[in-house]
Structure 1
Amino acid sequence: MKRRIAVLLAGCMVMTALAGCGSTGGEQKETETGSIENKEVTEKSQDTGESSGAEDTISGEITMWTGTWNDGLMDTLLEGFYEKYPDVKVKFEYLPWDGMEDKYLSALQAGAGPDVLDMAIAWTIPYASMGKLQKLDEYIEKNQIDVSDYYEGAVETLYKDGSYYALPYRSETMCLFYNKDLFEAAGLDPESPPATWEELREDAVKLTSEDVYGFGLCGSNAGNTTAQFYSMMFSKGVSLLNEDMTASAFNTQDGVDAFTFWSNLYLKDNVVPKSVLENDNTTNRNLFAEGKLAMFVSGSYDIDPIMEANPDMNMGFALCPGFEGKTSAAQLGGWNLGMSDTCKNPDAAFALMSYLASPEVSVDFSSTFSSCKSAVDNEKYADEKLKVFIEAINYGVPLPGSPYMNQITDILYNEAQAVLSGSKDAETALADAEASVNKALQN
């Protein structure tokens, strides 16, 4: 597995989960603190006299921070946990997505964080670099956690300097959505979506008409926009940063070619809506649902909104294209569970983490897909529409675990907008981005 050496800097912000994806599994609520009581389970254990063996030695209270979208879900999820650990009590604080990263960082710096943190994958290595997460190697070995069952991309987000600092439970990436009816009307085979970006461009030209555009490019929202051309760069084998994350690595010929291809879909091929600079992923999803956009890339979370808006939509799904001679690649998103450096009850904390990250429970804890490969056959994923999204996780590439990723993404987003507006060409924009990123990394 690839080992990354993160830059040690406190007080920096890091990149969030997969751009364009619904960062919540449902409607967000105001921050609130709640707890899950295990009184009934404890009483049941006492009534039956049953013992759960080694689990009985784990007891006490632990705290966990997670998103408001999990409020209510945790009661159901932890029923099995309390059967195994009747003497453990878990107190939850539910945080809204907006401001979540800031609160985590501030609390960790102040030594006031929870025992267990539910973290976007890009936060894990930076927190570990700051010394705010405990190493989990001893617990993983003691509890015989099969790390090989996790997707390779997910493992990269846990691992630093030879140690593991988290357990993954949710992994996701983008795939290609396409309108089969529009394909057929344009003389294209609706069962043969483009496998390469070059094929996508050719198809998009044929699909573009007075009322329909061939492909949905994002030019608004930093995460949505960069996720698209990052994925193209990853398909070319381009890395955003060098191995020790001390300098940029994207300003190569392959990087320029990928960035140029992405921007030319709008600037030269004319297959992208004219409103591209105002279009984020939600805009493209809505245009697709209205039949005004033939193709766009997104995650499985957009399937239901599209079907709600247009129940008759005849859409297909395919892996995110790769360039000719290259494999599919897309930016990986997801969530991990880590133990803070201030945790005083690590045995109970790890018991909770390993329970939630198990193949069985993570299927329900994740609002998209489990990070465990063995969960692929779970009945929750039986819908044929989901198969390609699960397969795509194997090609997911996580962002570098640098504390500077938010700043890096903002820099590249601004340069992307400059290219789409015609004020810079792709080569100049990447050179300028390289200079800005290297300056930021040296501060």
Structure 2
Amino acid sequence: MRTIRAAATGAVVMSLALAATACGGGTSTDGGGSNDSPKTLTYWASNQGASIEVDKKVLQPELDKFEKQTGIKVKLEVVPWSDLLNRILTATTSGQGPDVLNIGNTWSASLQATGALLPWDEANLAKIGGRNRFVDSALGSTGAEGKDPAAVPLYSMAYALYYNKQIFADAGIAQPPATWAELVADGKKIQAKGKQVLGAEGANVSENVHHVFVFAKQHGADFFAADGKPDFTSDGAVAAVKQYVDLMAKDKAIPQGNAEYAQNQSVSDFAKGKTAMLLWQSASSNLKSQGMSEDKYGIAPVPVQSGTPGTGAQVNSMVAGINLAVFKNTDNLDGATEFVKFMTGDEEQKILNKAYSTIPPVASAQSDAGFNSAANAVLKDTLAKSAAALPQVADESQFETVVGTAVKELFADAAAGRPVTTESVKAKLAKAQQQMPTK
């Protein structure tokens, strides 16, 4: 999921457990979709670029192309990540929503549990070219294990460490840090030259979750037990959250002002040369749109506890990405299916993923020479070797909200000079766990 990413209000999040009806552009009452409006589709796209206007410039020519090919007009709305999950959850209960929509891949199992989305069984997958067109890592974040996918992969991403070459050179740092201890040590050299070290977005709830999930994996922990029940207060989970927040509270690598940062603010600081490093998903197009040329920064794997990235405890990214879903009772089921086929076709996959500096989840498109840059080499290697999917459980979106909010509150404590201790972290996570639905 792109970064970001969204936070749903508690009341709307809880509707996941209750929602059993689908929504869409029309009036089908059997939940099975229809073709009452064969010439129109509504599409909610997630905000992938530096702004909504950037997304419109990327997407509208492709939607016009689809209309020319099929005669089907697509009405586009680009929805900010801060609103997207709320909008989707409201649509599952109100019956008022789009025909086709982007979802963060981490939400797949949660939205699948509502029954609102069209299942991509083998028959439906065959209509868009079949399951084998998609790479395995992307398919791993399309819904609960053992169930038909609730969506199909559209864009694949991974986190990387972006670093300002000039700031590093000025500080006498020859190469990017491979471990967190090295990052903290490099930070002291960078601060001695009057620069900020590492950008973060403490008020960005989903970004918080993505990072602490990776730290938890590096500590050999997870936020859910094997039976799918929340396990937020294990020693490893607590240590993971504390280590991330301590980058501000203890190590002073993250500026205190970043506690209030929301989506894209840390990217903006990095693009302007204010901070030396940035942890972000597939940031190249975002940085370019903000005026930072590729020769100004380097890209390296996200640091680990020790050694080099790999499997197991060396996980250094979530499997990030965007999936494309169809509301089950759309009034244009055939058109929606045709649109998904178009968007996941080789030509569009190359166009769109190049525009967003993402990796095509379609194997045949991924082999295009345009995806062989140094930046993409790091991202593809991470996805292949050292990324893990967030838990594909029905309560995942609630987990993002409550744990991400707990981290936000801990960053606020750090910024205000209040102590961040093992006990205070555990208390915040215990409170978050209490907010999870009970079975």
SS state at 1:128 partner:
helix
- d(CA) in 1 for partners of 2:241, 2:403: 16
Partner in structure 1 of residue 318 of structure 2 = 331
TM superposition shift of 1:316: 1.1
* Counterpart contact for 2:406–2:429, Cα < 8 Å: no
Partner in structure 2 of residue 261 of structure 1 = 243
Specify which of 184, 190, 215 is matched with residue 207 of structure 1.
Answer: 190
Unaligned runs of 5+ in 2: 1-9, 17-24, 26-36, 46-51, 308-312
* Counterpart contact for 2:122–2:131, Cα < 8 Å: no
- Between Structure 1 and Structure 2, how many residues are aligned? 387
Matched, 1:432 2:419: no
- d(CA) in 2 for partners of 1:385, 1:79: 29
In structure 2, do the counterparts of structure 1 residues 94 and 267 end up closer, same or farther at CA, with 3 Å as the change threshold? closer
SS state at 1:215 partner:
strand
* Counterpart contact for 1:266–1:272, Cα < 8 Å: yes
In structure 2, do the counterparts of structure 1 residues 110 and 182 end up closer, same or farther at CA, with 3 Å as the change threshold? closer
Task: Please give the residue correspondences for 1:21-420 in structure 2 after superposition, counting only pairs within 5 Å.
Answer: 60-61=38-39, 63-67=41-45, 69-70=55-56, 73-76=59-62, 79=65, 83=69, 86=70, 89-97=72-80, 99-140=83-124, 142-143=126-127, 144-147=129-132, 149-189=134-174, 192-247=175-230, 249-279=231-261, 282-301=264-283, 305=287, 309=291, 314-324=296-306, 326-343=313-330, 346-366=333-353, 367-369=356-358, 370-394=360-384, 395-400=386-391, 401=393, 402=395, 403-404=397-398, 405-419=400-414
TM superposition shift of 1:306: 6.3
SS state at 1:117 partner:
strand
Q: TM-score, normalised by structure 1?
A: 0.73
- d(CA) in 2 for partners of 1:239, 1:188: 34
* Counterpart contact for 1:158–1:165, Cα < 8 Å: yes
Aligned partner of 2:325: which letter? G
* Counterpart contact for 1:81–1:355, Cα < 8 Å: no
Q: Deviations over 1:283-308 (max 9, x none)?
A: 44444345443222123335653685
In structure 2, do the counterparts of structure 1 residues 133 and 71 end up closer, same or farther at CA, with 3 Å as the change threshold? farther
TM superposition shift of 1:164: 1.5
Aligned partner of 1:427: which letter? T
SS state at 2:192 partner:
coil
Q: Deviations over 1:37-76 (max 9, x none)?
A: xxxxxxxxxxxxxxxxxxxxxx944523223634773443
Partner in structure 1 of residue 13 of structure 2 = 12
* Counterpart contact for 2:199–2:255, Cα < 8 Å: yes
* Counterpart contact for 1:226–1:413, Cα < 8 Å: no
Comparing 355-364 with 169-178, greater Cα deviation is found at 355-364
- d(CA) in 1 for partners of 2:256, 2:99: 49
- d(CA) in 1 for partners of 2:288, 2:331: 46
SS state at 1:183 partner:
helix
Q: Deviations over 1:254-275 (max 9, x none)?
A: 2233333323333333334353
* Counterpart contact for 1:121–1:336, Cα < 8 Å: yes
Task: Report % sequence identity.
Answer: 20
In structure 2, do the counterparts of structure 1 residues 70 and 391 end up closer, same or farther at CA, with 3 Å as the change threshold? farther
In structure 2, do the counterparts of structure 1 residues 328 and 184 end up closer, same or farther at CA, with 3 Å as the change threshold? farther
- d(CA) in 1 for partners of 2:255, 2:58: 40
* Counterpart contact for 2:199–2:277, Cα < 8 Å: yes
Q: Deviations over 1:142-184 (max 9, x none)?
A: 3451347325155323345422221111122321111233333
In structure 2, do the counterparts of structure 1 residues 379 and 165 end up closer, same or farther at CA, with 3 Å as the change threshold? same
TM superposition shift of 1:280: 5.2
* Counterpart contact for 1:418–1:429, Cα < 8 Å: no
SS state at 2:422 partner:
helix
* Counterpart contact for 2:207–2:404, Cα < 8 Å: no
Q: TM-score, normalised by structure 2?
A: 0.74
- d(CA) in 1 for partners of 2:250, 2:108: 40
In structure 2, do the counterparts of structure 1 residues 267 and 117 end up closer, same or farther at CA, with 3 Å as the change threshold? closer
Unaligned runs of 5+ in 1: 1-8, 16-32, 34-58
